Structure 1
């Protein structure tokens, strides 16, 4: 019996401008094994795995004492040999399919490329194999999808197409780089289950690259933890979770979601309602053609709720449920088709321009992606000062003092004021976005997926920051997310949205512990959970059947 590993890497180094970002790591992978490579952004995990198939940027170099795959030396392959290894031997599922799929080619053309390069199948056989694979990954009426382009698919559908493109060639090893980061919890669960079911059928080994330790713990047989380009710990999943040895591993585990204490319900119920929505409906009209509109989409259906001062209400739902549309309505960037929105008891749309203007100033939004919402040409000091320019009572000196005050409040310090957004990390940019939102001391904040793209440790810091700022300034907050892990850390109440309808709402603990709707139960069941042990370690908490 051959016990030789499928993949063996010995002293791999990856360098950028003569600086090692991966510092001589060594590891092995057995056939059919699922290995999780875990670490924060910048730990070197993606560069290390991409170097296996020479998919590094031109400015990045890699070298190793030895690297073998399936008995073949892959340490010094020619470009042509690397092309033959990619796809057929080692396949890679990228983090963001929208940027890795070619927008100028149809899905059918892109799926066929690998088969043309690596097989001798006829065009008819290739087409049949592609249709069969698309149906296996859950895309029905696959024949009708071949002529469509990537932008015509949802995020979950694009990720399924990416999985199909890799699985078509039946590689012996699949590298999945953050395959579910941008997906909601239901699609995330479906994609992971699908990917690992397909790889198990084909006997493929899998390397899962992720910053989410709780997610990979449910699927990986072994975990390898990386920090600053080094492997600081690796072990079987159960043993690593139960008894983490390295301080960095323990820090990652400590960043896992912990439910906040139950709020003082009487105090919240007595607080002033900052906004009240009554029977809100939002329609999106289709494209106009031949003097008429195509069928409209009813994005939000008869929604009513209120948010009180000092309260955080989480709006939870899958992608396309209408939650961001509702957030845009509240922020004033979208109009309702019908219904009322009251600000401190007055209808924003019927009480004149003065009230509407006051509401726009009192309602601020924290965007999902701060890099695209912060002006790249402005320094942080200018970005933060900009909202204050409309405050007639503040002169330049007062504005500068408020900017310095708020940059310290979000934990960055005045040294960051002269930097530009591209000079900050993702977590630092999100802190700037929060600072910009609170700098005018607003009464209401809409936080739209503010932690979805962040590492778990940074995510916890941002949530703690938001809660502490809310305690200081008592603003009301609508927290829009698909991440129930974030919700249980910050929300006082939860509203669950599905297909434009709020199907369930209640106090956070009530909804999480005793959901009344099957959809809510599905969301909770798909949430990866680790249960703390008395010994200080963790154990994977099995999902209900």
Structure 2
């Protein structure tokens, strides 16, 4: 151990973008920080802030087109910048380990999980094969993975995303590294899965006394993991301090903006929306059934994703659809857009039938319904300019070209709050937030009545995502456009939606307006989603398992009957002899929400709003409440 107790010391770190024949452009400026042994330090900031670049420098690595140009980096007794290529290879994976954002990209699909997890130990010679396998099973158990003795025999595609993320952690920890870098390891996960992964990470950090760097843009997540936080923007440290101070007494304006962006502010209902409530619906989805794969003789797809879903969108209204991955959210958008065929039910646009088959729709129907996808990187051609990207729908839908099209492109860029000079930039050169605004401008070029927003903020930083929500609200006020807003984030769906639909396993299990879904009682699954959203305070994660991730008692084998409640296997309020024998029927609560559940309103409320010691009551997601098994 070093005399001062620090494992990591970084002084004057500079990283520059480098192109042959051109002067370097500094992107990380004179960074200083220390990490004590056994401490978790968070690096937080927006995309482009330099947080991942700084974290990678601790391994002596700079990404393509970049190089470390100055400063010193020490990990233990090792001067990282003085290491040769051979020395760096010995450092990486042995002394410093890295856990990436995308576990799927880190695994070879053709090799078993066990072979890949133990590979680093064999390469560095820290363990023999049999000892490495035993150590891997020990890590699988510590990371709360199912069937730890046998999960290593599976292939990566045979486990869930959350399990794969924890398996990548086992891969990193197999060599007992001195420092572990967690680089946005839960960003792509649902909130319910995120809790399991965060708890597993925190458990092994405590158990093994690890020193760690946690890279994230999400302050609420960082609050659960870090002892100290370094706040970055534009490659510079804006503020550094203990987690409690950063969360509750941020000094720098940029830090204050990060804290403010964690909980988006709900929009107020507009007069246009209130007037629309009495008008005919813009779009109706009636008993919609859809899926994928070859159809049987009755016309049903091999894999049914949506099962008799109803949904109504009025003019100038936003309907939010929330649920975990696999719930059917994106499939609803694709069916409405005509990208997935209908197996049952119907669509009505302004009261008139809307063909489920894309080939049977008119150009006018195409124009009226536009879709904005989650990943703007894959939705935009990176070699096309912004002007060319926006000019195509202008020509297709409105016959607009030449000077008229250029003027309209400038108007569209102004609408989405982008400078007109961006028109000549290639889309591949833009930031994530800028790309998503171009993606939205392309949809607006058609002058649609309805825009299907499919997780449009999930790949963005907190501040950028909040700005996109603000933009969507502003456009709705100006243009009267309607949105179907798809997300797994309860705070975002509450912030922008007028009505909310909760999906689970392809069924609509709760519907209601925003106010109805802002306080209990909820459907038990809605309660799980609400209780799984991280709060901006330290200690929340330690209480989360008691609130919403309890071990459930066994229930009858008929739990797999597709006609029964789809949430049965995970429901802490299930009633043996009822829930596993009879399908639930919709019931309307006093707040106007409709839930698909056997439990009555009083039972839901007693479970989700419990008495506190001072005689008041609180939501079961409150930090002061422990929900008891019923």
Is the structural similarity TM-score above 0.5? yes
TM superposition shift of 1:273: 1.0
For residue 390 of structure 2, give the secondary structure of its aligned residue in structure 1: helix
For 2:490, which of 479, 484, 487 is the aligned residue?
Answer: 484
For residues 303-322 of structure 1, the aligned pairs below 5 Å read 303-322=309-328
For 2:48, which of 42, 51, 55 is the aligned residue?
Answer: 42
For residues 225-374 of structure 1, the aligned pairs below 5 Å read 225-263=231-269, 266-285=274-293, 296-349=302-355, 357-374=363-380
Instruction: Tell me whether 1:509 sits opposite 2:515 in the alignment.
Output: yes
CA contact (8 A) 2:339 2:358 kept: no
CA contact (8 A) 1:40 1:211 kept: yes
Instruction: Tell me whether 1:221 sits opposite 2:227 in the alignment.
Output: yes
For residue 460 of structure 1, give the secondary structure of its aligned residue in structure 2: helix
Instruction: Tell me whether 1:4 sits opposite 2:5 in the alignment.
Output: yes
Q: Which has the higher contact order (CA 8 A, sep 6+)?
A: 1
CA contact (8 A) 1:348 1:356 kept: no
> Where does residue 537 of structure 1 map in the other structure?
none
In 2, the alpha carbon distance for the partners of 1:386 and 1:59 equals 33
Q: Under a length normalisation based on structure 2, what TM-score does the superposition of the two structures give?
A: 0.79
For 2:470, which of 464, 467, 471 is the aligned residue?
Answer: 464
Relative to 1, partners in 2 of residues 1:19 and 1:354: Cα closer, same or farther, differing over 3 Å? closer
For residue 118 of structure 2, give the secondary structure of its aligned residue in structure 1: helix
CA contact (8 A) 1:233 1:246 kept: yes
CA contact (8 A) 1:273 1:307 kept: yes
TM superposition shift of 1:352: 11
In 1, the alpha carbon distance for the partners of 2:149 and 2:485 equals 40
For residue 53 of structure 1, give the secondary structure of its aligned residue in structure 2: coil
Q: Deviations over 1:327-347 (max 9, x none)?
A: 111111001211111111122
In 2, the alpha carbon distance for the partners of 1:355 and 1:90 equals 56
In 1, the alpha carbon distance for the partners of 2:125 and 2:204 equals 20
Relative to 1, partners in 2 of residues 1:353 and 1:86: Cα closer, same or farther, differing over 3 Å? closer
Q: Which runs of 5+ in 1 are unaligned?
A: 532-539
Relative to 1, partners in 2 of residues 1:352 and 1:407: Cα closer, same or farther, differing over 3 Å? closer
CA contact (8 A) 1:255 1:456 kept: yes
CA contact (8 A) 2:367 2:397 kept: no
In 2, the alpha carbon distance for the partners of 1:165 and 1:25 equals 30
Q: Which runs of 5+ in 2 are unaligned?
A: 19-23, 538-620
> Where does residue 433 of structure 2 map in the other structure?
427
For residue 453 of structure 1, give the secondary structure of its aligned residue in structure 2: coil
> Where does residue 546 of structure 2 map in the other structure?
none
Relative to 1, partners in 2 of residues 1:445 and 1:524: Cα closer, same or farther, differing over 3 Å? same
> Where does residue 211 of structure 2 map in the other structure?
205
In 1, the alpha carbon distance for the partners of 2:54 and 2:358 equals 59
Relative to 1, partners in 2 of residues 1:158 and 1:12: Cα closer, same or farther, differing over 3 Å? same
| More displaced 10-residue stretch of structure 1: 251-260 or 145-154 | 145-154
Relative to 1, partners in 2 of residues 1:340 and 1:135: Cα closer, same or farther, differing over 3 Å? farther
TM superposition shift of 1:159: 1.3
In 2, the alpha carbon distance for the partners of 1:469 and 1:528 equals 29
Cα-Cα RMSD: 2.9
TM superposition shift of 1:58: 5.6
Relative to 1, partners in 2 of residues 1:332 and 1:143: Cα closer, same or farther, differing over 3 Å? farther
> Where does residue 589 of structure 2 map in the other structure?
none
For residue 327 of structure 1, give the secondary structure of its aligned residue in structure 2: helix
| More displaced 10-residue stretch of structure 1: 49-58 or 466-475 | 49-58
In 2, the alpha carbon distance for the partners of 1:202 and 1:352 equals 56
Number of aligned residue pairs: 534
In 2, the alpha carbon distance for the partners of 1:96 and 1:202 equals 24
Relative to 1, partners in 2 of residues 1:383 and 1:152: Cα closer, same or farther, differing over 3 Å? farther
For residue 225 of structure 2, give the secondary structure of its aligned residue in structure 1: coil
In 2, the alpha carbon distance for the partners of 1:392 and 1:129 equals 64
> Where does residue 106 of structure 1 map in the other structure?
112
Instruction: Tell me whether 1:181 sits opposite 2:187 in the alignment.
Output: yes
CA contact (8 A) 1:262 1:509 kept: no
> Where does residue 14 of structure 2 map in the other structure?
13
In 2, the alpha carbon distance for the partners of 1:396 and 1:250 equals 45
CA contact (8 A) 2:383 2:428 kept: no
For residue 384 of structure 2, give the secondary structure of its aligned residue in structure 1: coil
TM superposition shift of 1:139: 3.5
> Where does residue 608 of structure 2 map in the other structure?
none
CA contact (8 A) 2:60 2:88 kept: yes
TM superposition shift of 1:164: 1.7
For 1:444, which of 450, 458, 469 is the aligned residue?
Answer: 450
Instruction: Tell me whether 1:196 sits opposite 2:202 in the alignment.
Output: yes
TM superposition shift of 1:64: 5.4
In 1, the alpha carbon distance for the partners of 2:227 and 2:623 equals 15
CA contact (8 A) 2:347 2:356 kept: no
CA contact (8 A) 1:494 1:507 kept: yes
CA contact (8 A) 1:176 1:207 kept: yes
CA contact (8 A) 2:382 2:429 kept: no
For residue 503 of structure 2, give the secondary structure of its aligned residue in structure 1: strand
Q: Under a length normalisation based on structure 1, what TM-score does the superposition of the two structures give?
A: 0.90
| More displaced 10-residue stretch of structure 1: 65-74 or 168-177 | 65-74
TM superposition shift of 1:325: 1.0
Q: Deviations over 1:316-362 (max 9, x none)?
A: 11111111111111111001211111111122139997765432221
For residue 285 of structure 1, give the secondary structure of its aligned residue in structure 2: strand
For residue 257 of structure 1, give the secondary structure of its aligned residue in structure 2: coil
In 2, the alpha carbon distance for the partners of 1:439 and 1:294 equals 36
TM superposition shift of 1:439: 1.2
Q: Deviations over 1:262-293 (max 9, x none)?
A: 536753422431111111112333799xx9x9
Relative to 1, partners in 2 of residues 1:287 and 1:280: Cα closer, same or farther, differing over 3 Å? closer
In 2, the alpha carbon distance for the partners of 1:514 and 1:184 equals 21
Relative to 1, partners in 2 of residues 1:285 and 1:137: Cα closer, same or farther, differing over 3 Å? farther
TM superposition shift of 1:55: 2.5
For 2:499, which of 493, 499, 503 is the aligned residue?
Answer: 493
In 2, the alpha carbon distance for the partners of 1:343 and 1:62 equals 57
TM superposition shift of 1:406: 1.1
> Where does residue 62 of structure 1 map in the other structure?
68
